[in-house]
């Protein structure tokens, strides 16, 4: 029998999820034991690990994400180089399948004229074939393209997993992800996957980290300590909140790109300029407030009703000041740790689950979330 034939058979699988987000703060790995599908999925988290990007690789990824003149020759090597970094992060794990998101460089799901046609696109760089060869097991990548091909936003992808992990029969819940971009998942009480509503709300760590780098010369504001000593700058806050993305109704998704859905270097530079000669502490306090206000406004404007619980995860949960400010505006916010899900590894866990569902032929694309014309099995498989 073909050694990989059992991959498509029902039964427990050990799957590694690999995630590097728009914050570019490194690679997260989560190894899970998975059996079943959908809300019947049984899971056990076996292992987690985080690995910082090598500085040279991070610089290349940041340049590729934000520099329109990034060389094609360098881009050609970026996917294989990133695959090697992912493989090194997986070196101490044992899995029979890998789900890898890749690194988002562009996210352009709204159709635009290109070469004589209206084209939607998204780009998460990773050489799936190279990663599969390095790791010695099949790899699922390309989770977003199928949804975009069906007219969807291709994001957020994690709401299907939020439904598995946090869905409840009698409580209305919101799963809140604080990554480079903030997003929310509305989980109605007793709802099916088709009842989920989810969308990006705007920047989170992406802006806060950019301001920390610009104002303090450090990669991030540890625990929000500097921001906690600052005061919000009202004019800079309102100017930032004037970005057209905040007023758009879902489905919507954001990223580092320029334009109406972009919160990368250009947005951060304009924010810093608007802050004038303010102290670093005031700039950081205001950056935190951009996340807090945009998120709370989006929830009140676009969700059907108030949730019973708000369950936060992502790197932003390490920012104690951000979490305190969110609690002031969104009473009852807590972290996924209280529900048995490591807040720092939920997205890596998500891509393990999405890969498991992909080889099981389960549709994880949610039209109610992305606006796609139908649900789809997401992901493409590479073989070693």
Work out the percent of the chain whose per-residue pLDDT is above 70. Answer: 99
Query: Do 318 and 377 fall into the same domain?
Result: no
Structure tokens belonging to residue 178: 């604080």
What's the residue count for the chain?
A: 384
Per-residue pLDDT band for 373 (boundaries 50, 70, 90) equals very high
Beta bridge partners of 97: 15
Task: For the chain, give the mean pLDDT.
Answer: 95
Quick one: 302 and 218 in the same domain? Answer: yes
Q: 72-81: long-range contacts (C-beta < 8 A, 24 or more apart)?
A: 75/125, 78/125, 79/125, 79/126, 79/127, 79/130, 80/127, 80/130, 81/57
Phi, psi of 186 (to 5 degrees): -90, 120
Contacts of 381 (CB under 8 A, 6+ apart): 138, 139, 140, 358, 359
Predicted TM-score (pTM) of the model is: 0.94
What CATH number is attached to the domain comprising 255?
3.30.420.40
Q: What is the pLDDT of residue 332?
A: 85
Does one domain contain both 286 and 364? Answer: no
At CB < 8 A and 24+ separation, what contacts does 330-338 make?
330/295, 330/296, 330/299, 332/307, 332/308, 333/176, 334/309, 334/310, 335/311, 336/165, 336/166, 336/175, 336/311, 336/312, 338/311
Of 64-68, 266-270, 339-343, which range is least confident? 64-68
Same domain, 236 and 297: yes
- Please give the average per-residue pLDDT across 299-303, as a whole number: 97
Per-residue pLDDT, averaged over 147-164, amounts to 96
241 with 133, same domain?
no
Residue 1 has pLDDT above 70, yes or no: no
pLDDT for 12-62, tens place per residue? 999 999 999 887 889 999 999 999 999 999 999 999 999 999 999 999 999
What are 30-44's pLDDT values in tens digits?
Answer: 999 999 999 999 999
Domain count, the chain: 2
Percent of the chain scoring above 90 in pLDDT: 92
Indicate whether 266 and 228 sit together in one domain.
Answer: yes
Q: Do 194 and 86 share a structural domain? A: no
Q: Are residues 19 and 153 in the same domain?
A: yes
What six digits make up the tokens of 54? 């090598």
Domain that holds residue 357: 5-158+345-382
Burial class of residue 40 (count of CB atoms within 10 Å of its CB; 0-12, 13-18, 19+): exposed
Q: What is the mean pLDDT of residues 363-367?
A: 97
- Residue 373 and residue 368: Cα distance in Å, rounded? 10
Q: Looking at residue 258, what is its pLDDT?
A: 64
Q: Compute the average pLDDT of residues 65-81.
A: 96
DSSP string, 173-189: EEEEEESSEEEEEEE-T
Q: For position 3, what pLDDT does the model report?
A: 75
């Amino acid at each position: 029998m073909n050694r990989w034939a059992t991959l498509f058979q029902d039964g427990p699988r050990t799957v590694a999820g690999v995630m590097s987000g728009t914050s570019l703060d490194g690679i997260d790995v989560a190894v899970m034991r998975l059996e079943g599908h959908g809300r019947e999925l049984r899971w056990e988290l076996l292992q987690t690990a985080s690995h910082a990007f090598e500085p040279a690789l991070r610089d290349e990824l940041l340049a590729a994400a934000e520099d329109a003149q990034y060389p094609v020759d360098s881009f050609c090597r970026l996917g294989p180089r990133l695959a090697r970094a992912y493989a090194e992060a997986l070196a101490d794990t044992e899995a029979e399948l890998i789900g890898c998101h890749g690194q988002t460089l562009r996210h352009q799901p709204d159709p635009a004229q290109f070469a004589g046609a209206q084209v939607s696109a998204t780009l998460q760089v990773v050489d799936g074939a190279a990663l599969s060869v390095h790791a010695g097991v099949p790899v699922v990548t390309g989770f977003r393209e199928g949804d975009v091909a069906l007219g969807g936003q291709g994001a957020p992808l994690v709401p299907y997993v939020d439904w598995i992990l946090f869905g409840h029969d009698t409580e209305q819940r919101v799963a809140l992800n604080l990554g480079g971009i903030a997003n929310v998942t509305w989980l109605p009480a007793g709802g099916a996957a088709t009842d989920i509503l989810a969308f990006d709300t705007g920047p989170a760590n992406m802006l806060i980290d950019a301001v920390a780098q610009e104002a303090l010369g450090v990669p991030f504001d540890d625990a929000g300590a500097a921001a906690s000593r600052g005061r919000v700058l009202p004019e800079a806050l309102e100017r930032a909140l004037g970005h057209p993305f905040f007023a758009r109704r879902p489905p919507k998704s954001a990223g580092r790109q320029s334009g109406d859905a972009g919160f990368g270097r250009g947005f951060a530079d304009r924010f810093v300029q608007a802050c004038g000669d303010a102290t670093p502490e005031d700039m950081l306090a205001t950056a935190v407030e951009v996340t807090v206000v945009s998120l709370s406004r989006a929830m009140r404007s676009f969700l059907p009703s108030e949730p019973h619980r708000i369950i936060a995860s992502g790197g932003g949960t390490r920012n104690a000041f951000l979490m305190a400010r969110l609690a002031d505006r969104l009473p009852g916010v807590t972290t996924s740790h209280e529900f048995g899900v490591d807040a720092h590894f939920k997205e890596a866990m998500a891509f393990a689950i999405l890969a498991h569902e992909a080889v099981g032929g389960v549709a994880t694309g949610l039209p109610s979330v992305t606006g796609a014309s139908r649900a789809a099995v997401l992901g493409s498989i590479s073989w070693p």
